[in-house]
């Protein structure tokens, strides 16, 4: 019997996001003169084109790729 898929929408996530990291991400996305316009443009497009579940999947994939590409 195949295991049930784990929902990407919360509850069983093993990744932990530090509150300071989240605050900095929100600052970059909403207040930074250079980053905010770029981030907001892409977010608007993604929120229009992707479902909530697809956006959650994309977030997890981006986090994993960032982890994989980090330098020791």
Q: What is the mean pLDDT of residues 12-41?
A: 86
Residues 49, 26: Cα–Cα separation, whole Å: 22
| Full-model pTM | 0.71
Helix (H) or strand (E) holding 22: helix 19-30
Residues 34, 68: Cα–Cα separation, whole Å: 26
Can you give the residue ranges of every domain in the chain?
19-69
Q: Model confidence at 10, in pLDDT bands (50, 70, 90)?
A: low
């Amino acid at each position: 019997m195949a295991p049930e898929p784990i929902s990407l929408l919360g509850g069983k996530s093993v990744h932990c996001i530090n509150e300071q990291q989240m605050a900095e991400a929100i600052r970059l996305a909403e207040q930074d003169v250079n980053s905010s316009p770029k981030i907001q443009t892409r977010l608007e497009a993604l929120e229009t084109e992707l479902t909530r579940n697809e956006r959650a999947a994309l977030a997890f994939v981006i986090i994993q790729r960032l982890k994989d590409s980090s330098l020791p």
